[in-house]
Amino acid sequence: MQEELLSSKVDEFEEAMKDMYLIFKVDDQFYGIEIKYVIEIIGLLPITYVPNQEEYVKGIINLRGKIIPVIDARMRLSKPQKEYNERTCVIVTSIDDFLAGIIVDHVSEVAVINKDQISSLPQTYEKINERFFRGVASLNERLILILDCETFVKPDRINL
């Protein structure tokens, strides 16, 4: 009986989170990732450089005893580098038990974005679309690029 109740509550929770996205900013652009991948948002911790990584893999951090890789969203998105500041933060994500941090300029909000609000990117951006993006949504007169968290976070090569 308790297992059925727990299973029902988990299903309700997953349903409620289905259309929720964490909105963050890199440069002058807003991006969104499904909230189901987000474990927590933390301030920037000391990063230990690990050689022979992709350029956007900044290194590793010690998060309460767990060693996780961190990637710089700016570099992953081919944006110009910028010095980190007090608003810079790390979005800790979990994908199939793979923990990774995403360094972003700042987190804006959690928003509900229904599937019918997400459009495909124009064909001009098809290659980019296939790689990182699920589409684009309009939210409060802002365009939000919806990232495919799995392809964005899981680097092509991490040699840790």
Residues 85-113: pLDDT tens digits?
A: 999 999 999 998 899 999 999 999 999 99
pLDDT at site 154: 76
* Rounded distance between C-alpha atoms, residue 71 and residue 102, angstroms: 5
pLDDT at site 122: 78
pLDDT at site 10: 56
Global pTM value:
0.85
pLDDT at 24 over 80: yes
* Rounded distance between C-alpha atoms, residue 136 and residue 119, angstroms: 5
Residue listed under structure tokens 């799995």: 150
Residue listed under structure tokens 């500041």: 85
121 falls in which pLDDT band (50, 70, 90)?
confident
Give the residue from 107, 93, 106 showing the smallest Cα distance to 155. 93
Residues 12-21: what's their mean pLDDT?
73
Contact call for residues 16 and 60 (beta carbons, < 8 A): no
Residues 127-152: what's their mean pLDDT?
85
pLDDT at site 107: 97
* Rounded distance between C-alpha atoms, residue 135 and residue 36, angstroms: 18
Terminal-residue alpha carbon distance, the chain? 44
pLDDT at 61 over 50: yes
Higher pLDDT, 18 or 42: 42
**Angle in degrees, CA 86, 92, 98, rounded to 5:** 150
Residue listed under structure tokens 């570099």: 75
Q: Say which CATH class 1-153 falls into.
A: mainly beta
pLDDT at 9 over 60: no
Contact call for residues 135 and 121 (beta carbons, < 8 A): yes
How many residues in the chain? 160
Domain ranges of the chain: 1-153
